[in-house]
């Protein structure tokens, strides 16, 4: 018997005390287990109020038993759910009793995500939908929860499958032509292959843009506050968070280590990282903090380089600018503008996509900063992604784009290299199928489902 056909059991509710706790069992045929546990059969899809007895017939708990016959269940197998009281001790006793009864049937403890993995293996959902289960559980905002639910309902998968079908159709035409070489000379023109490929590529670009928004909605944007000591990094963190997260004083070097706070802007998670002030110092502890600051800067999606508006041309800021990663979007944020005379504001660079004037103390410019961060995240309320996406989805879409670009390159030459054209289409199709799990490795499945909670 394959390891995936053994029945499995686990507590499906979060640890701790609660009004209701659930023990879930799944397997190819649980009728024998059900009869052994309750000494009677259960009617599928009906709620039965019963005692959950131990081996001596004494009640451990009492609650609702729900029996789902395959394939009409979450996993596609027989599923039994025992819904009792939510105390940790009582749930463990019920689960232990399940293993006592289930020993004869090979019942074992479920691995993390194994119920959802079986749902995927039994075609109850594709891989993108299975990932959405974990995203729905872990959603940190209402918008993320809606996006995860849309993915779970198949919104993302449907768009992937529609694009894959278009590539398959073009592949079919190419490969049919390869079977009849005498027709090959007219293929690109006869079937408007170049036009079809361009249309497919345009659809992929739209999908990539929406996926990028979905990935930002799921994972958030990593924003690092960088700059000299006492330019207001901690004050800005507190202002954006709406709370006193970081210590603020007039003493340079107050922040010795990174401070991270998660905020939400229009439902988009933003991870703000306050760092130690960047300067030359002989303080050993502060130097460690400065080294960690540069490490955070190297990992940032966006850098906010804070500059004291009263000293906009300080040499130390120019040194910092020379060391900042060139490939990372950076905004020069001129803080403490409330301390400047109006006439002195003209000495600052004009506001644009990379320069901004603010006051963390009064709140001036903060809303503009928030909108700038959303823009850098690729987020637009008018083109809101209805589903979540993961980094692996973006990588697969990027690789699909590379293969379509190569296919277009071959199409621009002549019909004598249609075999290369067809091969690039095949590879592009394979990348899309990896998103939904049509073609995927066991290693990838293990990595994905191991991140789930036990019982799901």
State how beta strands 221-227 and 268-274 pair.
parallel
Q: Looking at residue 383, what is its pLDDT?
A: 56
Token pair, residue 107, equals 């019942």
- What spatial distance separates the first Cα and last Cα of the chain, rounded to whole Å? 23
Q: Please report, for residues 120, 215, 301, 314, the alpha-carbon distance to residue 394 in angstroms, rounded to integers and kept in the order given.
A: 21, 8, 15, 40
**CA dist., res. 390 & res. 400, Å (int):** 16
Residue 384 counted as an annotated binding residue: no
pTM of the model as a whole = 0.80
- Which run of H or of E encompasses 64? strand 59-68
Is residue 268 part of an annotated ligand binding site? no
Average pLDDT by stretches of 10, the chain with 456 residues = 76 88 96 95 96 95 96 96 94 96 95 94 94 90 87 94 93 73 56 84 93 86 91 89 62 62 86 88 83 90 92 89 92 91 80 91 92 82 73 95 91 70 91 88 77 82
Written as six digits, the tokens of 251 are 């003493």
Specify whether the CB–CB gap between 265 and 373 falls below 8 A. Answer: yes
Q: Is 266 annotated as a binding residue?
A: no
Q: Is 296 annotated as a binding residue?
A: no
Domain coordinates of the chain in residue numbers? 3-125, 142-216+387-437, 221-376
Burial of 261 (0-12, 13-18, 19+ CB in 10 A): middle
Is 251 assigned a ligand-binding role in the annotation?
yes
Q: Is the peptide bond before 71 cis (omega within 30 degrees of 0)?
A: yes
Q: What superfamily does domain 3-125 belong to in CATH?
A: Probable tRNA modification gtpase trme; domain 1 (3.30.1360.120)
pLDDT score, position 104:
94
Q: Is 254 annotated as a binding residue?
A: yes
Phi-psi region of 106 (alpha: psi -120 to 50; beta: other; left: phi over 0): left
CATH architecture of 221-376: 3-Layer(aba) Sandwich (3.40)
H helices present in 52-113, as ranges: 88-102
Specify burial of residue 312 (Cβ count, 10 A radius: 0-12, 13-18, 19+).
middle
Fold match flag (3-125 vs 221-376): no
Q: In DSSP terms, which residues pair with 10 in a beta bridge?
A: 24
Annotated ligand binding at 235? The verdict is yes
Residue in 192, 176, 196 with CA at minimum distance from that of residue 184? 176
Q: How far apart are CA 359 and CA 333, in angstroms?
A: 10
Annotated binding-site residue? 352? no
Stated as kind and residue range, the H or E segment containing 308 is: strand 302-308
- Hey, is 295 helix, strand or coil? helix
CATH superfamily for domain 142-216+387-437: tRNA modification GTPase MnmE domain 2 (1.20.120.430)
For residue 330, say whether it is annotated as part of any ligand binding site. Answer: no
Instruction: State yes or no: 401 annotated in a binding site.
Output: no
Q: Confirm whether residue 275 is marked as ligand binding.
A: yes
């Amino acid at each position: 018997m394959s390891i995936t056909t053994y029945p499995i059991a686990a507590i499906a509710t979060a640890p701790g005390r609660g009004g209701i706790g659930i023990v879930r069992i799944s397997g190819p045929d649980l009728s024998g287990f059900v009869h052994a546990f309750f000494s009677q059969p259960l009617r599928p899809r009906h709620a039965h109020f019963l005692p959950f007895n131990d081996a001596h017939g004494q009640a451990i708990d009492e609650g609702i038993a729900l029996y789902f016959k395959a394939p009409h269940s979450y996993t596609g197998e027989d599923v039994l759910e025992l819904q009792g009281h939510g105390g940790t001790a009582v749930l463990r006793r019920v689960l232990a009793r399940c293993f006592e009864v289930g020993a004869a049937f090979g019942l074992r403890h479920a691995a993390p995500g194994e119920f959802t993995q079986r749902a995927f293996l039994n075609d109850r959902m594709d891989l993108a939908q299975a990932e959405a289960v974990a995203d729905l559980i872990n959603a940190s905002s209402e918008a993320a929860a809606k996006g995860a639910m849309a993915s779970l309902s198949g919104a993302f998968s449907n768009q992937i499958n529609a694009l894959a079908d278009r590539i398959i159709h073009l592949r079919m035409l190419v490969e049919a032509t390869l079977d009849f070489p005498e027709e090959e000379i007219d293929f690109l023109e006869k079937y408007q292959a170049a036009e079809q490929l361009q249309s497919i590529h345009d659809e992929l670009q739209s999908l990539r843009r929406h996926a990028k928004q979905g990935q930002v909605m799921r994972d958030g944007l990593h924003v690092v506050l960088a700059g000299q000591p006492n330019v207001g990094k901690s004050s800005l963190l507190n202002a954006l968070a709406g709370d006193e997260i970081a210590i603020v004083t007039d003493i340079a070097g107050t922040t010795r280590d990174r401070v991270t706070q998660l905020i939400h802007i229009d439902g988009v998670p933003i991870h703000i990282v306050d760092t130690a002030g960047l300067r030359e110092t002989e303080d050993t502890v502060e130097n460690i903090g400065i080294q960690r600051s540069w490490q955070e800067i190297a990992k940032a999606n966006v850098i906010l380089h804070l500059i004291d508006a009263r000293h906009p041309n300080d040499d130390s800021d120019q040194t910092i600018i020379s060391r900042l990663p060139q490939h990372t979007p950076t905004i020069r944020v001129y803080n403490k503008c409330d301390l400047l005379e109006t006439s002195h504001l003209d000495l600052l660079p004009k506001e644009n996509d990379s320069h901004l004037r603010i006051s963390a103390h009064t709140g001036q410019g903060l809303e503009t900063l928030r909108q700038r961060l959303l823009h850098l995240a690729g987020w637009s309320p008018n083109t809101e992604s209805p589903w979540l996406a993961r980094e692996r989805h973006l990588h697969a879409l990027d690789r699909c784009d590379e293969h379509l670009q190569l296919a277009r390159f071959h199409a621009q030459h002549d019909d004598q290299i249609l075999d290369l054209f067809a091969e690039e289409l095949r590879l592009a199709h394979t990348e899309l199928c990896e998103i939904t799990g049509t073609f995927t490795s066991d290693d990838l499945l293990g990595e994905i489902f191991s991140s789930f909670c036990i019982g799901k």
